Amino acid sequence: MSKIIAVWGGKHSGKTTFAVNLACALSKRNKLVGLISSNLTYGELQTFLGQEVPQEKGLFAALYTENPNVGEKFTDYAESKNLFFLSVPTRYSGLLDDNVTLEEVEQLINSASLAFDLLVVDGAVEVNNPLSSVGLWLADTIFTLHRPSIAAQMWQIGVADFVRELHLAEKQSHILLAPNGEFDDKAYRSLTELPFVCELPYLKRAGELENAGTPLYFFKDRLCRRYAKVLEQIAAKICGGEKQ
């Protein structure tokens, strides 16, 4: 079973949507799940999960407070007793992200991996983000999201040296988001020549639901159920069995 799972992708690839909903799916399998955002300036997870992170909790408290139980700095997700998330606090002052070091992040992720059964790290587009790069390096499995476009292909080319230097390719599973009509998925497959393990449906209402703080996994319209079904299949492979 994978212990640390990283989610990665280019801009507008749907990676944070996938990371949040995968964490929800895993938490429903009787697993204690920690979800970490690598966004150092804005609390994205607060939007997706519809909750605030108080000043005394959150990413910077976990990084800079000498507390052996890093799990206490995660925020409980109200809709699932097994899901906890770590994001920058909803309100904070100072450029705290300038002080984040690779060593601090490595210690944080290793400590969090002991506190939870499964740890999901939502990576960043930028390869110089310390939380994202360390999360990718420590991950057992990396799910890389692709929304077919020329920009997505250029991002894939741009990170090729980074992938090679950190030996990430052997840990990557590529996931294709069904196109919304703006770009042909067959053309993208041909351009990238990547093996895609599965395809996620295009959800027109995704932005609306996310702004309302409603994970797609818990919304029961037809397309969201299709999206959730793919997540269930992935969660089953991660956990090595059927849903408990």
Instruction: For 146-171, write each residue's pLDDT tens digit.
Output: 999 999 999 999 999 999 999 999 99
Per-residue pLDDT band at 207 (split at 50, 70, 90)? confident
Angle between helices 150-158 and 185-192 (to 10 degrees): 20
Q: Nearest Cα to 38, choosing from 2, 8, 18?
A: 8
Neighbouring C-beta atoms of residue 44, cutoff 10 Å: 18
- pLDDT tens, residue by residue, 2-13: 799 999 999 989
Domain 4-239 in CATH 3.40.50.150? The answer is no
With a pLDDT cut of 90, the percent of the chain lying above it is: 73
Q: What is the pTM of this model?
A: 0.93
What are the start-end ranges of the H helices in the chain?
15-27, 44-49, 59-64, 102-115, 130-138, 150-158, 160-165, 185-192, 206-211, 222-239
Using the predicted structure, report yes or no on whether residue 1 has a pLDDT greater than 80.
no
Using the predicted structure, report yes or no on whether residue 244 has a pLDDT greater than 50.
no
**Max Cα distance, the chain (Å):** 51
